[in-house]
Amino acid sequence: MAAETYPTELRATCHGISAFLGKAGALTATIAFSHLTSPQIFFVCGGTGILGAMFTFFFSVDLTHVSLAEHDVQMELFLEGRLDEYKGKLNDKKHLSLFERMTGRHGEYVSDWANDLISNELTMHGKGANELTIHNNRIEEQADAT
């Protein structure tokens, strides 16, 4: 799950942090369990399992059919301070966590937002609509009619 959740620039770092926290939890449990009786360990493990299941239910997202490039675009816009311009698949209700749906902590979803974003970027960088077209989410140069 960690490999799908983080953008490319942060994937290795966040995956390492996740692995570290797992190992730190195992160490903490080993130390704490040495001071508990068997029934106490049973209840602590049961409670931790229930808490983990609730956390997963509320905060995990379904990233089926979402390209890792979507994370990269969202991250780039975030770093540029333009996150409000992101309207891609990660804002689609079927790819949001229950928490995000309940609180409205997500942006607007527009199925064709990439074409608009690319057009705006091209305009900002001096490329006119007559020079380039967008076809199936790919930028293609138009052939001159002359």
- Residue labelled with tokens 């903490």: 28
Q: Tell me how far apart the alpha carbons of residues 54 and 65 are, in angstroms, rounded to a whole number.
A: 24
pLDDT digits (tens, 9 = 90+) for 50-92: 999 999 999 988 888 888 888 888 888 888 898 888 888 888 8
pLDDT score at 115: 75
Residues sharing a CB contact under 8 Å with residue 106, sequence separation 6 or more, in sequence order: 91, 96, 100
Confidence band (pLDDT; 50, 70, 90) for 27?
Answer: very high
Taking the CB of residue 41, how many other CB atoms lie within 10 A of it? 15
Asked if 112 and 103 touch (Cβ cutoff 8 Å), the reply is: no
Q: Is the pLDDT of residue 100 over 50?
A: yes
Beta-ladder partners of 134: 139
Q: Tell me how far apart the alpha carbons of residues 57 and 95 are, in angstroms, rounded to a whole number.
A: 13
When the pLDDT of each residue in the chain is averaged and rounded to a whole number, the result is 81
Confidence band (pLDDT; 50, 70, 90) for 144?
Answer: very low
Asked if 138 and 144 touch (Cβ cutoff 8 Å), the reply is: no
Asked if 68 and 88 touch (Cβ cutoff 8 Å), the reply is: no
Among 76, 118, 73, 115, residue whose Cα is nearest residue 91: 73
Confidence band (pLDDT; 50, 70, 90) for 37?
Answer: very high
The amino acid present at 50, given as its one-letter code, is: I
Beta-ladder partners of 78: none
